Amino acid sequence: MATVKCADVLNTFSCLGESCEDTCCQGWSMQVDDATKQLYEQSAPELLDSIEPAQEASWIMRKNPATGFCVKFDNGLCGIHKEYGDRFLGNACHFYPRATRALGSHLIMTASLSCPEIARIALIEGHTSAMADKEIERLPFGLKNYLPVGMNEDDALAVHQVFLSACADESASAEQTFLRIASAARSLERIDHAGWPSMAGYYIEHADSLLPPPETNEVDPFNLLHALCGLIVASHKPMSARLRRTIETMEAALAVTLDWTKVQISADDRSLNAYRQLQHALHKEDTLFVEQVLRRWLQMQMSLALFPFSGLGNTLSERVTVIGVRLAIIRLALFCNCSIRREESLPNVVISVVQSLSRFLDHLGDASFSMMIFTETGWTEEARMRGLLKK
């Protein structure tokens, strides 16, 4: 048994199984870790037929090419789990949608919004931030320790909690909170790790006065959609039906067309008008709901990234740029989809949009191509990021 600090979002989580609208057993490259492959070699060699080599990881679960389902998927259940037991599931299959990381001896378990049920519990029910000790029977093999040199583990955990708490400020918008976090992260980057515990809260508290005036660009919304298209094409991963719907709705709402072969976007004067109208398309209460969802989304990003200790990007500046652009993409996608998909309930649209985008964005393993795009658009600059997130 091991004790983990478990995010509130997992307390009531239960896999939706057969009724899941975007199951992780279909269309995903579920990684198989070395320890599990060795277990198959030694104790169940027949299971080696269910795995295959892959580019992004050494081995993944093999999929049925006709259906996209894992070959061991059996009537809504995992055939390996049913026949061999949980011990024979690799880390990814056993733990998904959970993510576990270490800060010294502290083990922190949270979850990804790429699972529809996690998205519902976090974004609609609002279980996002609190952590409580929980006993678990199994830990992932090869758990990574993110404790920086020069900081003790309790201080590191306290720094992480400062960033989680910053997102709980209901008086600030997600955009404002993000800008405070980004400013604090850039300040922390300039000092030794030993100073982080005493300075993290101070930097967040005083960030507003340090923010540069926003530099806006009226074609930013179209650049965002174009950047998303470029990232999807460069990933060489198939697009899920849900993600396709999210993006096609964005095209319709913004009166633009994406050319996926040439990775181009066509926008004109109609597009600018469509974007301006979009900002007033939702009723007041729906706008407030989406704004609350964005606050919860940001808190989940802090949690999933064990911020500021992990996340996509080589430096803290890169990590906040990635999160800031994602916030802008999620916001744009939510306003486009919520204003057009009126026949569906608002919570369902929110879950579908955020989950479909997270399923793609949370699984990008390298920030270099993203950073190249964000540098070209100027979003790596604080003033441009502020302009991008301006309402």
Half-sphere exposure of 68 (CA within 13 A, CB side): 11
- In eight-state DSSP terms, residue 212 is P
Task: Identify which of residues 69 and 214 has a Cβ nearer to ligand SF4 in the complex.
Answer: 69
Residue entry with tokens 């060489």:
236
Of 20, 48, 281, 364, the residue at the interface with ligand SF4 (CB under 6 A) is 20
Smallest gap from Cβ 206 to ligand SF4, in A, equals 40
Task: Identify which of residues 53 and 76 has a Cβ nearer to ligand SF4 in the complex.
Answer: 76
Of 10, 23, 78, 84, the residue at the interface with ligand SF4 (CB under 6 A) is 23
Stretch that binds ligand SF4, among 14-22, 39-47, 152-160, 237-245 (CB under 6 A): 14-22
Stretch that binds ligand SF4, among 69-77, 113-121, 167-175, 312-320 (CB under 6 A): 113-121
Stretch that binds ligand SF4, among 20-28, 83-91, 104-112, 300-308 (CB under 6 A): 20-28
Beta bridge partners of 109: 6, 100
Residue ranges in the chain assigned as alpha helix (H) = 34-43, 79-84, 91-95, 116-119, 153-166, 174-189, 196-205, 220-235, 241-254, 269-278, 284-304, 316-340, 346-361, 368-377, 382-388
Smallest gap from Cβ 317 to ligand SF4, in A, equals 32
Pairing relationship of beta strands 2-7 and 131-136 according to DSSP bridges: antiparallel
Task: Identify which of residues 121 and 204 has a Cβ nearer to ligand SF4 in the complex.
Answer: 121
Residue entry with tokens 């441009």:
384
User: Is 227 one of the binding residues for ligand SF4 (CB under 6 A)?
Assistant: no
Task: Identify which of residues 82 and 276 has a Cβ nearer to ligand SF4 in the complex.
Answer: 82
- In residues, how long is the chain? 391
User: Is 362 one of the binding residues for ligand SF4 (CB under 6 A)?
Assistant: no
User: Is 16 one of the binding residues for ligand SF4 (CB under 6 A)?
Assistant: yes
Distance CA 206, CA 184 (A): 9
CA separation, residue 45 to residues 48, 52, 60, 62, 141 (Å) = 5, 13, 16, 15, 20
Stretch that binds ligand SF4, among 12-20, 125-133, 257-265, 282-290 (CB under 6 A): 12-20
Interface residues with ligand SF4 (CB under 6 A) are 15-16, 20, 23-24, 96-97, 115-117
